[in-house]
Structure 1
Amino acid sequence: MTAQQRPAAHTPLGTQVRRASGLDHNPLCRPVDRARSRTALALPLVLALLIAVGAVVAVLAFRVETHAEQGTARHRHAVVATTVGPAVTDDLRTGGSPAHAPARWAYPVGPGSGTVQVAVGTPVGSAVAIHLDDSGVPAPGARTTAAALSDAGVLGVGTATGLVSLALVGYMVHRRTLDRRAERSWEPDWERVEPLWSQRR
């Protein structure tokens, strides 16, 4: 073996564990090699932890949003309104855009009227399901559990993806730093170890 030779690129897992724990007594195993082994073994654990963090974020977000929507639902009341005028498209450039129409409805606080969202082309006299707030004013209904679950999932996946990406970048930077350190120290380390390895005095 000469000073130009290098250790195998892919070290077995058992060797990595012994090296990282300091139990590898091979004289060719340098501190930088142990640092590389510790980094390689820590990466899967860190990634698993970050994925778990993303899952926790998703669960917490779902609970918060569900609680908020439950509060909203207590102040929303479903009624049926009747359109009393033609539907007017919000955006004339796009026929598929939402439309609004004047409508009337009955509510415990008294009859009401206003503008409600309808499908394009809804004829006069159509029944439209709407939500009113406690004062009888049209308001958005509470979001569904499926919508809250979808948003929480997106947030959790986004959080995990961002953290994992940062961890991988940090790992590559750290690994490259260790590789450069190993390259710089290879010659002096070999000069120190070669007599022991070859039994030369």
Structure 2
Amino acid sequence: MSQHAASEAVMVWAGPRMHLVQYPVRRGELYNQVAVFESDHYTPDSDAWGTGAELEERFAGACRTVRDALPLIARDRRWPLFDRLPTDKWVHGRIALLGDAAHPMLQYLAQGACQALEDAVALGRALGRFSDPADAFAAYAGQRRERAARIQTGARRFGEICHLEGMGATLRNALFASRGPDDFDDVSWVWTPAPAAVTAP
């Protein structure tokens, strides 16, 4: 890979229950870095977990490149990550959910906002086809549930793969090493909606 191509690449450094992702933004003017790790101190009734000290502790055994990057990561933002299993209950009468309210998902397929936009398009088209909003909402949910659920569970699965330990990590690394840099065949369906999803109303 050329130095120019490397500077534009998304780099993911994966380790046991943690990863660091790095990529340029704003036409290369800024470089984004995000450190993610599974906290050992999470409790639902406390916010005293996922701290800077825990980040340092978790990444202490990482390679030098990752350790050198940690001081450059801002500590003023902390985003706890949550998702849930897919649900069929998107609609109740004349109330409909979309986006994260309908299908909260982890970031591993970079699809949170994308799926909200797909929801909005499908909902808008359904509202154009039906005079009763309740019918439009039911049609919208029927069109979107399966795809959103597949992406939602796929994102969780990718996170689990990224954070594997031991033999699982060894197998993951061997699989990734055998792939070309442009090989996305196993997830290309995410960015290639079915024709029905893009056909004009």
TM-score (norm 1): 0.29
When Rg is computed on C-alpha atoms for both structures, the one with the higher figure is 1
Q: Identify, as 1 or 2, the structure richer in helix.
A: 1
TM-score (norm 2): 0.29
Higher relative contact order (CA 8 A, sep 6+): 1
